[in-house]
Amino acid sequence: MKLTLKKIELTPPQILVLGFAAIILVGTILLTLPIASATGVPHSFLNALFTATSATCVTGLVVVDTGSSYTMFGQIVIITLIQVGGLGFMTMATLFAFMLKKRISLKERLVLQEAMNQGSMEGIVRLIRKVIRYSLTIELIAAVIFSIRWSMDLGPAKGIYYGIWHAISFFNNAGFDLFGSVTGPFSSLTSYASDPTINIVSMGLIVLGGIGFIVISDLLDFRVSKRLSLHSKVVLSTTGFLIVVGAIVIFIFEFTNQKTFGPLNWSGKVLAAFFQSVSPRTAGANTIDIGGMRQASQFFTIILMFIGASPGSTGGGIKTTTFTTLVGATIAMIRGKEDIVLFHYRLGKDRILKAITLTMIALFLVIIVSMVLSTTEDHPFLMILFEVTSAFGTVGLTMGLTPDLSDIGKVMIALMMFIGRLGPLTLAYALGPKTEKELYRYPEGKITIG
C-alpha cells in the first residue's frame, strides 16, 4: 500500500508566526547556556524564554536585569534577537538574499507584504532595500553620538559597546538597557534624566523607529515628490499630537511629585515629560521611576501604550492610524456625517471595520489577561493592567511587577508580547480556518443602538 503525504501549504501569516516562534526558541536555548549567565549558573528555561520573547518581540520587559545578569555573550544574543525581531526575520532573510544575489520569490514577496503590513506587493522589495539602508544608517549615526557621550563616563571601550548596543535597542523600540551593571539593577536611564544629549538622541531613535519605514521613506523622498501620502500625514500628525499632549499631561501631573520630577530642575522636568510621553509609544526606556508616578500619570501611560506606534514600524499597540480612524468615526457619527474624511480623503468602510475589529480584539485580550493575572499575582490591579498593556503594546515599561511574576504570569505576559508583536489580526488569520467567499447574504435587519 502506497502512502502519500500531502504537501503542507503555509499562508504568509502562518509563516510569520512560525518564523518568530523559531527565532524565540533558538534565542531561549542560547540564553540557557552557562556562557550566557554572569554568575555561570544557567538561567532557567522559563526565564530564558521570557527574555528571548521580550527581545524578539522588541518589548523590554525583563525578569532579570540584562546588564548585571548576562555576560557579553548573552547580551549579544539579546541584541541580535532585538535587531532581527525589530526589522522582521523576513527582512533579515531578504538582506542575506541580496548579499547572495538570490532572487526573491513570489511566496517570499507575499510574506514580506504581510510582515510590512502593506496592501499590495507593488514595490515591496524596493521598500525592503530602503528599510535595511535607513535602519543601519540611523543606528550608525546614533551609535557614534552615544559612544562619544558614554566614553566620557565609562571609558572608550565600554562607551563604544554601550553606544552600539543601545542605538540598536532604542531604534527598534526594544527598551532593553545595560545600565543595571553601572547604576543598579532595573535602573534604565534614570541617571541621565537631565542629560540633553542622551534624551534627545534616544527620543529621536524611538520616534523614527515608531513612525514606520513607509513614513521615513516618504519624508526622504519629499524633496523630489513635494507630497506626502495620506498614511504619512495621519501618522505624523497623530504622533506629534500624542507626544505633545502626553508631555503636557505628564508634566502637570508629576510637576510636584518628589518621587519623579521633584528633584529635577526646569529643563530636566521638560526633558523627562517629553521622554515619558515618547517612551510609551512602545520603547520601554525610562528616565524616572515608573512605580513612583502618580496613579493618574500611570493610567494615562496605559492609554499611550495601548495606542502604541504606527503600522510598518518596530512598535506595537493598536497603532496610531487605528486610533485616528476610531476618533474620526466618532466625530463623523456625532456630526451626522456618513463618511470619515482625513486630509480631504474619504476612508473606505473596510478600513473602519478593520480598525474596530483590531481594537476590540486588543481590548478583550488586555481585559482577559488582566483578570487572569489578578488571581495569580498578589499585586494591585493598576500594576497588573499596566504590565499587561505594556506587554501587548511591546512597550517594556513596568511599575515593578515583572521580576515578581509567577510562572503562570511569565507565560501569560510572554504570550501577550508575542501577540502584540505579530498583531492580533495576523495571529487570527494564521490560526483561523481558510476563508471562503460567501455565496449569499442575509437580509438586512435593524437594532436599536444607544
| Beta carbons of 388 and 405 less than 8 angstroms apart | no
pLDDT at 114: 54
Quick check: is 16 in a domain? yes
Neighbours of 48 (CB within 10 A): 24
Quick check: is 445 in a domain? no
The pLDDT tens digits along the chain (450 residues) read 444 444 556 666 777 788 888 999 999 999 999 999 999 899 999 999 999 999 999 898 999 999 999 999 999 999 999 998 887 655 655 555 555 555 655 555 665 555 555 555 556 667 777 778 888 899 999 999 999 999 999 999 999 999 999 999 999 888 899 998 888 888 889 899 999 999 999 999 999 988 887 888 888 888 888 888 898 999 999 999 999 999 999 999 999 999 999 889 999 999 999 999 999 988 888 999 999 999 999 999 999 999 998 887 777 889 999 999 999 999 988 888 888 888 888 988 888 888 998 899 999 999 999 999 999 999 999 999 999 999 999 999 999 999 999 999 999 999 999 998 887 766 665 555 555 666 667 787 777 666
Quick check: is 7 in a domain? no
Q: What are phi and psi of 342, to 5 degrees?
A: -125, 120
| Beta carbons of 392 and 302 less than 8 angstroms apart | no
pLDDT at 123: 61
Quick check: is 421 in a domain? yes
pLDDT at 304: 95
pLDDT at 163: 96
Quick check: is 435 in a domain? no
Range of the domain at 73: 12-429
**Angle CA 81–87–88, to nearest 5:** 75
CA 407 to chain centre: 24
**Angle CA 129–134–136, to nearest 5:** 100
Quick check: is 439 in a domain? no
| Beta carbons of 77 and 31 less than 8 angstroms apart | yes
Residues 6+ apart with CB under 8 A from 372: 408, 412
| Beta carbons of 286 and 181 less than 8 angstroms apart | no
The count of structural domains within the chain is 1
Quick check: is 276 in a domain? yes
- 210/246 Cα distance (integer angstroms): 16
Quick check: is 4 in a domain? no
